[in-house]
Amino acid sequence: MSFAVGQGEIFGLLGSNGAGKTTAVEIVQGLRPRDRGDVRVLGLDPVAERPRLRHLVGSQLQSSALPDRLRVGEALRLFARLAGDVVDWRALSDEWSLDHLERRAFGALSGGERQRLFLALALINRPRLVFLDELTQGLDVAARQETWELIERVRDDGATVVLVTHFMDEAERLCDRVGVLHGGRVVTTGRPADLIAAVGGPVHLRFSAPDPSLLAGFDRVAGVTDVTVDRSRADVGQPVAVDVACAAAATVAVTAEIAHRGLAPADFAVVRPSLEDVFVALTKENPR
């Protein structure tokens, strides 16, 4: 595989379980030996120059844990000392809203509180580059949202972030660029919006129409690629369900055509392709 991460961005490494995401980032961090190839992190070889690199990189591994009885304040103080007291751990605790948890044991923390602590520990040496591996795995919706905001704060504070995830909505929300990993190789890289536009498929406009005849010739409207009409409810006098597929750039024109034909459906919905659609399309085209 081959990929590059730019300074100051959140780069997402996407893939299904077993695709090789964790192996890749462990090699990049010098935690696992590479069979061959060249790796440079901040200009350094992560194996030969690992002592120099260690002070520049922060990491939250896929399987992170602390002793259940270790208190939050004790963990922050210990990790700060190991990092050479680059930061005041009390200031870091306040910055990441952990001050009220300092006397609480790790085993008593919620999932979201643990992730906030792990993020703070990953930043204990003020790193230039941070690796976050499956940070939101197993969190509830509220905790995931909170963690996303924390990740954006890490980037906004000046660090480059490599985010390993198999959650496509997470990558679409957070990442400046992504690399899709499948079967041990990078299938493609790019901005989520660009990949969606190139691979994700058409936009779907879905609505109900009182009379199928109002849709005559709709497939000839510029930008429309397909029109599907479900007439199953027409026999009982119900509106028909319509699905118009079109290019993203044609969405406004198609919507105007719907209004021009006197249709004002209350259930009108625009369904745009997502990064998940891109991932499915790319991995189907590139089987193991």
From the list 4, 12, 7, 3, the residue with the least C-alpha distance to 177 is 12
Cα–chain-centroid distance for residue 84? 32
pTM of the predicted protein model: 0.80
Domains identified in the chain and CATH numbers:
20-165 (3.40.50.300), 202-272 (3.30.70)
Beta strands in the chain (DSSP E): 10-14, 57-60, 129-133, 160-165, 177-182, 185-190, 203-209, 224-230, 240-246, 269-271
Give the C-alpha separation, 117 to 121, whole Å: 6
- Phi–psi pair at 154, nearest 5 degrees: -60, -45
pLDDT at 285 over 70: no
Q: Average pLDDT, whole number, for the chain?
A: 89
pLDDT at 249: 86
Largest Cα–Cα distance in the chain?
Answer: 76
Mean pLDDT of all residues in 44-70: 88
Full DSSP string of 61-93: -SS----TT-BHHHHHHHHHHHTTS-S-HHHHH
Tell me the pLDDT band of 147, cut-offs 50, 70 and 90. Answer: confident
Q: Which of 41-55, 64-78, 107-121, 130-144 has the lowest mean pLDDT?
A: 130-144
